[in-house]
Amino acid sequence: MNGGEALVSTLIAHGIETTYCVPGESYLTILEALRVNRNRIRLVLCRHESGAAFAAEAGAKVTGKPGIAFVTRGPGATNASIGLHTAKQDSTPLVLFIGHVPTREMGREAFQEIDYPKAFGPLTKKVIEVMRPEDCAAATADALATALDRRPGPVAVVLPEDVTEGDTRDETIPAFVPRTPRLPTEPALDAAAEMIRRAKHPFVIAGEMIGFEKAHDALATFAEASGAGVGSAFRRQDVIPADHAANLGNFGLVLAPFQKEYWKDVDLAIIVGARPDGCTIQDFELLRPDQGVIHIFPDRAAFHETSPTVAIEADAKPTLEALTRRLQGFSVPAERKSWRDKFRAEQVRFAAPGHDPKAKTKGAVDMAQIVIQLGKRLPKDSSIVNDSGAFASWFHRHYPYAAPSAQLAACLGSMGYGMPGALGAQLARPNKTVVAVMGDGGFLMTGQEIVTAVQQKLPIKVIVCDNGMYGSIATHQYRRAGRDGLYGTVMNSPDFAALARAYGAAAWTVSDTAGFLPALEAALAHKDGPALIHLKTDMRDLNATGPQMAE
């Protein structure tokens, strides 16, 4: 057994079913081992290394297993590094295997050589350099376990060419060992439960570990037992259903006016399964000195930014379940109930279009109505894989995320995530509807992965919101200097429907709101591969909350 065969055998033994790659001559033995085992583990050929890494990361968000991507050395690895960065900030288990120069050439600035521990150390939990064939299986098992342990995240495994081609001299494959749950301590639970009982207006911010641990029911039950309001961390809106009585909105780049109002009343912030990312906690200025803070997270490093009153270094699900048990017999105060109900009504009003004069549409395509139509027509367990861009603000505000894995997006804000992310989501959820939503800018970065969906016969639905500019940046420019301030952000767009057809996908063009639903119905009916809707939006409609551009 050579090193490449040992690596693939370890992946199979650890329950990995899907992998992604852009091929390279530096890991040919791995490709051969994947070919021989193609009935046991699937290999998806992508068109760019960033696409392979994004697809693997999105699939990992759904399955909870480490996403797996293979790339070659140097340029291949650096192209894929955006996936490492995404997985790091999104707390997603990902293992990137990198074919490398032979061991005899290492440290000599060989062709396409990179010092991976230095280059990728800050982007990963660990960089593993495998120097002997007999270490390939153990290194693979170590990488998979490390990606899952405590706070999930990415691991890079560097594989010199001669190492994967060499004889391991042993066919022993490490057995799979499940991730060890991080359990809360009794004193911490007692202190947290007492703070919850005494608080006037407790509020939960729930994040990525809810999805990773499949703790959605535990969160909803805790919200009912405590009477706390719940806000989802940035791009984690599927942690609690949109119609749940405790759901008080998404904590994103900017808080809505009603969220700023209720946050003044919050005297206890309960951060559950969320690292304190800058978007969610408003550039690290959300928490006040006069607030109590309970922070539940499996990695103590997260507490540095929150200075919690009670720090619970544990997984979200067992902690929420234990706190709920401690609240048995607790009667939620009437004032707490009425306060939450008041702002729940404000959230419902905010999510319904037509009430905000700043968000009034100027163009022929009303993005708010598009999102509402999607919410009504798509199955509740559909996955929306949204790219980054101003168009996403309409989804953050109006889409009714109703089930686990309903929102799959990069917390990091990586442009180009949408199309390859949908690949990973669709392969992880083969019987569910998956919709990739991106702007023209994001599609032009990684949209060629739609041909991967064609080759894999994946029925992904793709919506390209085309306003002919990098809308998020243009919004900031407009706020600073008006329309004359738009510079370096306006661009020409191709005919995306024609481009999709050239790739082998079905496609439709929509230029007004009335034309969207018929196109959506046609796209949903297309089952033989991907279907794309080129949605021509107006650049004057900057985002879901305004300002909109003057005439």
Helix, strand, coil percentages in the chain from 3-state DSSP, rounded to 5: 45, 15, 40
Q: Report the candidate in 64, 65, 89 with the shortest Cα–Cα distance to residue 214.
A: 64
CA distance 114 to 551: 51
Cβ pair 14, 141 in contact under 8 A: yes
Q: Which of 167, 133, 134, 158 is nearest to 26 (CA)?
A: 158
Judging by DSSP bridges, how do beta strands 383-386 and 94-100 pair with one another?
unpaired
Provide the pLDDT for residue 359.
87
- Per-position pLDDT tens, the chain of length 551: 999 999 999 999 999 999 999 999 999 999 999 999 999 999 999 999 999 999 999 999 999 999 999 999 999 999 999 999 999 999 999 999 999 999 988 888 888 899 999 999 999 999 999 999 999 999 999 999 999 999 999 999 999 999 999 999 988 999 999 999 999 999 999 999 999 999 999 999 999 999 999 999 999 999 999 999 999 999 999 999 999 999 999 999 899 999 999 999 999 999 999 998 999 999 999 999 999 999 999 999 999 999 999 999 999 999 999 999 999 999 999 999 999 999 999 999 999 998 888 888 999 999 999 999 999 999 999 999 999 999 999 999 999 999 999 999 999 989 999 999 999 999 999 999 999 999 999 999 999 999 999 999 999 999 999 999 998 899 889 989 988 899 999 999 999 999 999 999 999 999 999 999 999 999 999 999 999 999 999 999 989 987 788 76
Establish how many alpha carbons lie within 13 A of residue 296's alpha carbon, considering only the half-sphere containing its beta carbon.
32
Exposure string (b/e) for 92-123, b if CB count within 10 Å is 16 or more? bbbbbbbbbbebeebeeeeebebebeeebeeb
Match 């299986």 to its residue by tokens: 137
Cα distance between residue 200 and residue 235, in whole Å: 28
CB proximity list for 376: less than 8 A, separation 6 or greater: none
Q: What is the pTM for the complete model shown? A: 0.96
pLDDT for the residue numbered 551: 67
222's enclosing H/E stretch is helix 216-226
202: which strand partners? 268
134: closest CA among 110, 168, 180? 168
Name the 3-class secondary structure at 306.
Answer: coil
Query: The tokens of 477 are what?
Result: 């420019």
Query: What does the pLDDT read at residue 546?
Result: 79
Q: What is the DSSP string of 248-263?
A: EEE--SS--HHHHHHH
As a whole number of angstroms, the distance between CA 312 and CA 317 comes to 12
User: How far out from the chain centre does Cα 329 lie?
Assistant: 37
Please provide the DSSP assignment of 384-411 as one string: EEE-SSTTHHHHHHH----STTSEEE-T
Fold for 357-536, please state it. Answer: Rossmann fold (3.40.50)
* Dihedral sign from CA coordinates of 159, 163, 167, 168: negative
**Residue located via tokens 């300002």:** 547
Architecture in CATH of 3-165: 3-Layer(aba) Sandwich (3.40)
The dotted CATH code for 186-351 is: 3.40.50.1220
Write out the DSSP string of 419-443.
HHHHHHHHHHSTTS-EEEEEEHHHH
Domain ranges for the chain, please list them.
3-165, 186-351, 357-536
- Residues 413, 387: Cα–Cα separation, whole Å: 8
Report the alpha-carbon distance of residue 234 to residue 205 in Å, rounded: 10
Q: 3-165 and 357-536 share one CATH topology?
A: yes
Q: Say how many C-beta atoms besides its own lie within 10 A of residue 126's C-beta.
A: 18
CB-CB contact of 88 with 154 (8 Å) = yes
Provide the 8-state DSSP code for 154: E
Strand-pair partners of 508: 533
